[in-house]
Amino acid sequence: MIKNQTTNEQLELWIEMSEGLNLEFKKAKNNFNKKKDLPDYCAALANEGGGKLILGISNDREISGTKEFMGTIDTLSHELLNSISIRVDVEEKYYKEKRILIFHIPSRSIGTIVKSTGNYKYPMRAGSSLVEMTQNKIKEILNEVELDFSSKIVNGFTLSDIDNEAINNFKKLWARKQNKEEYLTFSMEKTLRAIGVLTDEGLNNAGLILFGKKEKINKIIPGAEIIFEWRQSQKIRHDFRIDWREPFFKIYNEIWDVINARNLRFPYHEGFIQREVFAFNKESVREALANAIAHRDYNIQSASIFIKVTPEKISIQSPGGFIKGVNQENILEKSEWRNKRIAEIFQTAGLVERSGQGMDMIFDNTIREGKGMPDFLGTDNYSVVLNIPAKVKDENFIIFLEKIINQSQIALSFEEILELEKIREKQEIQNLEFRNKFLELNLIENIGKGRGSKYILSSKYYEYEGKLWKHTQLVGASRDEKKLLILKHLKKVGKVGAQRSDFHNIFTENISKKEMDNILQELRRNDEIFARGKGLSSYWFLNKFN
């Protein structure tokens, strides 16, 4: 299942777009072959940089719906992973009462080609058709390399240009992280060689950005700048601004001190015990900033890293869009570095997580603190913006999680915490592998049936929130209670009768067309009501026996 469901608005935007290398519509009424067509189109779109394959909508945008893979979509993602070796998320969506299937296809990795098991070995798009990839295209892809800017040797940059304070700060972090006190005694040259900054060819860009003296940075790479702005409110001008063009390991503590000076404390009570959450989490901020430095595109010299802070959020903006193959949808799963040498040095010093888990940690901290989820609003092809919320939105969610964890003596993974947050916000579960565990632990409840089925947090959460009425509202009326409301309404209207739309209006919750049909037919079979007319224009009446 996908993590972010497609909205009607997004689908309508795609429908208005022209088909291209990254968007394919297929009518697929009932003849789209799972063994041939599906892997071919998914592989071709992946080879073109990723995109969407949408079944149930024709090339001329007729919304016909599809019966393909009915009842088997839960296995499609796994089958595609086995056949073309990439994960394709499959979404079943009902739009205008038509069943649509959306395949969310990621981009191939740099220098690799996605191979299909269908009619083509290496499929690619040619207009609205598929063709076998040309030898020139294959050669072009295999020769792709994203050069590591931070490993490039800098001419005219020598050991005399290294800032001693930056080196000493790094050695303290290094020794503590690796638990080796002898690192503190290493000479400058030995330290730089050990971490891959100095080779026989010279010093590289990682050394300049992290350890170079201010004068050298100004001369060679003035874009390696970090700017902090504080706004008390969402206004045009900032209240405070400071900029640094210094080696990072000289200023990393100062940057946090500037942010922390504006930190806010959010106290909350758990029984008689007062707890607190801070607006800006030190671990999350440092991880986000280190990620921005390791991921930014230093070829863009006209832009700097911005840290924009308000009481509501902290936004860290890094020049250069997402690295190829990474986007907002897969950033919690992908581990790619634009400046690998810098990232490795940060890992050595303990400033970022290994194996690309840093973004997970930021999301995990923010959710556990009751602030909701970070987002990437403002991101485009030229910069990545990470927005970390600062205000506690739901302290009861914190208490709910802690109590469940303590009482059940369990540990919840980041993926499980993320899924619970999505259930809290959207009342739906998107990762079915967690469903049974959540139900067993009484973390969630299932309400409704069929397509109207949804999941909510258990009544314990709403009890901590002091809003058990909200739980009752979400659960809604039982089937028998709904029947009783319909009978009461028909008794009031008498000989006038009531149409289907009237019944929908008497409920405070949304009831699907299918559920309403089932309720009315059950009442009819029990001889409690009858209808005059046909279809939606028919009127319903109470039997005289009632």
Among 291-300, 452-461, 482-491, 522-531, which stretch is predicted with the lowest mean pLDDT?
A: 452-461
Residue ranges with strand state E in 290-435 = 305-309, 313-319, 383-389
CB of 222 closer than 8 Å to CB of 174: no
Measured in degrees and rounded to the nearest 5, phi and psi for residue 365 equal: -60, -45
**Model confidence over 318-341: pLDDT tens digits?**
998 887 777 777 777 766 778 989
pLDDT at 471 over 80: no
Q: How many C-beta atoms surround the C-beta of residue 453 within 10 A?
A: 11
**Model confidence over 218-251: pLDDT tens digits?**
999 988 999 999 998 777 788 899 999 999 999 9
* Own/partner pairs, 192-201, CB within 8 angstroms, 24+ separation: 192/159, 192/162, 192/167, 195/344, 195/345, 195/348, 196/151, 196/341, 196/344, 196/345, 197/341, 197/345, 198/159, 199/153, 201/153
Cα separation, 232 vs 262, in Å, equals 10
pTM above 0.85, yes or no: no
**Model confidence over 76-96: pLDDT tens digits?**
988 998 899 888 989 999 999
Q: What is the structure's pLDDT at 126?
A: 79
CA angle 424, 427, 428 (to 5 degrees): 115
**Site of tokens 């009544």:** 459
Give the CB-side neighbour count of residue 461, counting CA atoms within 13 A: 23
pLDDT at 1 over 50: no
Q: Which domains does the chain have, with CATH numbers?
A: 8-142 (3.30.950.30), 159-389 (3.30.565.60), 395-475 (1.10.10), 479-542 (1.10.10.10)
Cα separation, 124 vs 45, in Å, equals 7
Rg (CA), the chain: 29
**Model confidence over 55-80: pLDDT tens digits?**
999 888 889 899 999 888 888 988 99
Give the CB-side neighbour count of residue 212, counting CA atoms within 13 A: 26
Cα separation, 98 vs 115, in Å, equals 32
Q: What is the structure's pLDDT at 256?
A: 96
Cα separation, 266 vs 268, in Å, equals 7
**Site of tokens 């935007």:** 13
pLDDT-based confidence at residue 509 (cuts at 50, 70, 90)? low
Measured in degrees and rounded to the nearest 5, phi and psi for residue 107 equal: -75, 150
